Amino acid sequence: MFARRNGSAWSVLAPAKLNLCLDILGRRFDGFHELESVMTPVALYDRLEYSPGSLGTGEPFSFAALPWRRDAPLAPAGDDNLACRAVRRLADAAGIEPQGRFLLRKSIPMAAGLGGGSSDAAAALVLANAAWGLGYDRPRLAGLAAELGSDVPFFLAGGPACCRGRGEIVEPLAALPRLPVVIVKPPQGVSTPAAYAALGLARGSAPEHAERRSGSSADRLTAAWRAGAWSRFRTLVVNRLQAAAEGLCSAVDAIAAAAARLDVLAHAMTGSGSAYFAICRSANHAHRIAACFRGQRLGTVYATATCP
């Protein structure tokens, strides 16, 4: 993730993400779930912009959010937005007052498992660091990112990665081929804490499948992705939060059933839902699959691809 400069203005593109696999290894004593996930950015973006603001307006810092696409969600403004809290957190760490006008242009659906809020927060750290000339290096920003949310360090690192711990331990995966994907977001969302709570795991316990687990499914998926062994994707693209999310949002189940009837390489829910993705063989194939999903009116459909 990088800040671009245009005169005194700056901007950062904040991508959405997919969890190509998401394994839950157990629930920790701090309440978070220990996980292992292969995550990748996808070419569906929010954009965060910065301008220094005019002197003498009496408003040194502001944070606003606007829809970017016509069908985009209305994001919270001010401190209700994680990206605004990220700006304030960085200013606090640097011992300065936050300043300038921040404008978030939203495209990524919310409560979708696409990581939009976390990506915006990572973008806010990168943008404010550049615009204010703080010169923080990435490890220092990553420390603040992990405080803001489990997925924020992944977006800060940029590119596909295997994420462990509660999500904040990021191992970048280099040189993986681009995957054409179709994403379907039903109108209903899923709350992340509710999806994790629906797993019903007591603190300090592990789910049954984790007890029987032999080796890392994330490592197997990464190896198949690197080798282009697409026939192995069908069994490796699995999300252990999906059943819990289906119990909270029947639309996920309906999309899963529709995806199972289509000729795609693999399909699963992303993150804690409610968005669902199908991996396709080519961009043309993705456009055909997107048309099939659109015909079924299951939600908003995006034909896109993973970012290297």
Segment near ligand C5P (CB under 6 A); pick from 7-15, 31-39, 67-75, 260-268: 31-39
Active site residue 17: yes
C-beta of 121 vs 280, nearer to ligand C5P: 121
Query: Using the rule CB under 6 A, which residue among 107, 129, 192, 222 binds ligand C5P?
Result: 192
Catalytic residue among 106, 120, 151, 185: 151
Rounded to whole angstroms, how far apart are CA atoms 86 and 63?
11
- Determine, following the binding rule CB under 6 A, whether residue 32 of this chain makes contact with ligand C5P: yes
- For the record, the structure tokens of 253 come out as 């189940």
Catalytic residue among 17, 23, 120, 185: 17
Query: Using the rule CB under 6 A, which residue among 14, 18, 33, 128 binds ligand C5P?
Result: 33
C-beta of 150 vs 274, nearer to ligand C5P: 150
Q: State the number of binding residues for ligand C5P (CB under 6 A).
A: 11
C-beta of 161 vs 265, nearer to ligand C5P: 161
Minimum gap (Å) between residue 177 Cβ and ligand C5P:
28
Minimum gap (Å) between residue 192 Cβ and ligand C5P:
4
Minimum gap (Å) between residue 132 Cβ and ligand C5P:
25
Active site residue 151: yes
- Determine, following the binding rule CB under 6 A, whether residue 239 of this chain makes contact with ligand C5P: no
Give the residue among 97, 95, 147 at the shortest CA–CA distance from 122: 147
Minimum gap (Å) between residue 205 Cβ and ligand C5P:
13
Residue 33: CB atoms within 10 A of its CB come to 18
Segment near ligand C5P (CB under 6 A); pick from 190-198, 222-230, 244-252, 277-285: 190-198
- For the record, the structure tokens of 74 come out as 């209305």
Query: Using the rule CB under 6 A, which residue among 56, 95, 193, 204 binds ligand C5P?
Result: 193
Query: Using the rule CB under 6 A, which residue among 45, 196, 277, 293 binds ligand C5P?
Result: 196
C-beta separation of 271 from 244 below 8 A: no
Rounded to whole angstroms, how far apart are CA atoms 126 and 63?
15
- Determine, following the binding rule CB under 6 A, whether residue 35 of this chain makes contact with ligand C5P: yes
Contacts of 161 (CB under 8 A, 6+ apart): 38, 39, 40, 154, 170, 171, 172, 173
The residues that are catalytic are 17, 151
Contact residues: ligand C5P, CB under 6 A? 32-33, 35, 149-151, 166-167, 192-193, 196
